[in-house]
Amino acid sequence: MKQLLIIAACVSLLAPGAFAQGLKVGTVDMNKAFKEYSKTKDAEKKINEAKDAAKKEYDDRADAYKKALDEINNLNKQLDAPALSADAKTQKAKERDDKIANIKNMEREINEFRQTRERQLQEQALRMREGIVKEITDIVMDKVKANGLDLVFDKSGMSLNGVPLVMYAKDNFDFTGDVITVLNKPGRVSTVTDKPAPAAAASASPAAAKKP
């Protein structure tokens, strides 16, 4: 998880001995707070349910596509039959061509369906994540104000080189547990939106595209 309170860069700008001049420093593990917040688990459950619903809808449409393809193949076999009369052949050829035109529309629509659902699911997941991160950040800032902290570092943050931004901090600097306690407090009103992604167009049909 990207660091959400990026203050480490400011440390290099502090004058030597600044910490000795009474700066109050705190640390918080944003990644841990995110994972242990009950709303995170709820959000993951809702996203998984939406994914399962999208897959079921795709599978239903895929079955219809396969059935239409089988019908076209069956008509092709009938057209190859030498005993078929000219009139019957003309009729079956028209029926086959109509089904081919229909299945091409199905192929186009399944691609639109898949792309739309993927985008909707991504937007839903992002919306939920942003809401959770904002709640955690708001509680962190409340703690900052209540304790008069001058600097707060995210213990889960990593530098561009993959090195922890906080190499070491005393345990009494960390208030992650307090943040998690507030987040999961019974009766606390959450602002996280769990509005599901809107349904894709009902006309979408399956094709040989990759499943979502």
Q: Encode pLDDT of 2-18 as tens digits.
A: 444 444 444 443 444 44
pLDDT tens digits, one per residue of 115-174:
999 999 999 999 999 999 999 999 999 999 999 999 999 999 887 888 888 888 888 899
Q: Are 126 and 195 in contact (CB under 8 A)?
A: no
Q: Say what the pLDDT of residue 92 is.
A: 86
Give the per-residue pLDDT at 195.
58
Nearest CA-CA partner of 140 in 37, 8, 9, 17? 37
In one-letter notation, the amino acid at residue 151 is L
Q: Of 111, 102, 182, nearest to 142 (Cα)?
A: 182
Residue 88: what pLDDT?
Answer: 85
Instruction: Calculate the alpha carbon distances from 97 to 49, 104, 168 in Å.
Output: 39, 11, 72
Using CA atoms, how far apart are residues 118 and 120, in angstroms rounded to an integer? 5
Question: What is the distance between the alpha carbons of residues 17 and 108, in angstroms, rounded to a whole number?
Answer: 66
26 in Cβ contact with 5 (< 8 Å): no
In 3D space, the residue among 206, 202, 203, 211 whose CA is nearest the CA of residue 68 turns out to be 206
pTM across the whole model: 0.67
